[in-house]
Amino acid sequence: MHERIKARKIADVLVSYFFRNHIDDMTVDLKIAESGTTIAIHGKTDAPIADIRSVCDRLHQTRRVEFEDMYDDLIGTRSAEDDLELLALIVDEAEVSFEDNVLTLTVHRYRKS
């Protein structure tokens, strides 16, 4: 159940990011598996979001497992920019692609022992 709550919060941050950048036609794919959680958001747009690469780079910060419940509790209580910074501390990897006018941002959380 705990991972589902984290996955929902991560999806909320990603959807909010796309909305703030005027992408209103989107889908979210979410998969929780034994190996971890993957969330991909796909949005139709004429051009990629200007800062999407830097956001993706920030999402590659070191995941801080020992503090992640605290970070998780803070998501949604601060500014949207803060939410992206907090998201970087609870995900392991991120990828971005833009193909056929579809912008995709995918984040991964791997199960930690």
Task: Kindly give, in sequence order, each residue whose CB lies less than 8 Å from that of residue 49, ignoring residues fewer than 6 positions away.
Answer: 17, 18, 21, 23, 55, 103
Range of the domain at 85: 2-110
pLDDT per residue over 93-103, tens digit each? 999 999 999 99
**CATH number of the domain residue 6 falls in:** 3.30.565
pLDDT per residue over 17-65, tens digit each? 999 999 999 999 999 999 999 999 999 999 999 988 888 888 776 666 6
Determine the pLDDT at residue 86: 75
Task: Kindly give, in sequence order, each residue whose CB lies less than 8 Å from that of residue 19, ignoring residues fewer than 6 positions away.
Answer: none
Number of structural domains (the chain) is: 1
The residue with greater pLDDT, 101 or 87, is 101
Cβ(43)–Cβ(36) below 8 Å: no
